Amino acid sequence: RQTVRERIGALAQLLTRPACVLAYSIQVAAAMPLMALSTIMAVFLTNNLGLSAKGLSMIYLVGGGTNFFVARVIGRLADKYGSAPISLATTGLVSVAILMGYVGLNPGIPLLLIFPVFFIANSARTILIQTVAMRIPRPRERAAFQSLGQSMQGLSMGVSSIATSYL
């Protein structure tokens, strides 16, 4: 059984190991823009694009429902083809969804198709980042590593939400 001092020392080792710092940085870099866009999504869709409350509910329902099923497929694709190509593909998808949904480069594709792609691609990116990141810690460090990573993601998402409100 570890003492509090030993636990803090173990966490400090994770926070100073270069591979862990890189993994945490990637997790934060992926979480912040997602949170910034997600925070303003409902307001943007209703106020800027004129989507009704019913349409907004449908986008979230379709996006979340589709994501529930696609997340399992993403894991299998990563196992079969590797995380890097699937990550590149999902980053491309989220970029296209942002360009079409937020920037306005939309050739007439319904929002009900664009924003579920945004949800799915972001979820896939998170799955892939976690898959790669969990290879870094030693087996006995995995819980602490994951805990620190989730704490950093939560903190960065909070900062992102606050910063977005000022935009």
**CB-based contacts of 141: which residues, under 8 Å, 6+ apart?**
10, 14
How many Å apart are CA 113 and CA 52, to the nearest integer? 16
Check residue 35 and give its pLDDT: 83
Blockwise average pLDDT, block size 10, the chain, 167 residues: 88 92 90 84 90 92 90 90 92 92 88 89 89 90 91 89 84
Measured distance CA(27)–CA(19) in Å, rounded: 12
- pLDDT score recorded for residue 71: 86
Tally the C-alpha atoms within 13 A of residue 22's C-alpha that lie toward its C-beta. Answer: 9
Predicted local distance difference test score (pLDDT) of residue 61? 93
- pLDDT of 25 reads 92
pLDDT of amino acid 89: 94
pLDDT value at residue 57: 93
Calculate the alpha carbon distances from 111 to 45, 79, 92 in Å: 9, 31, 18
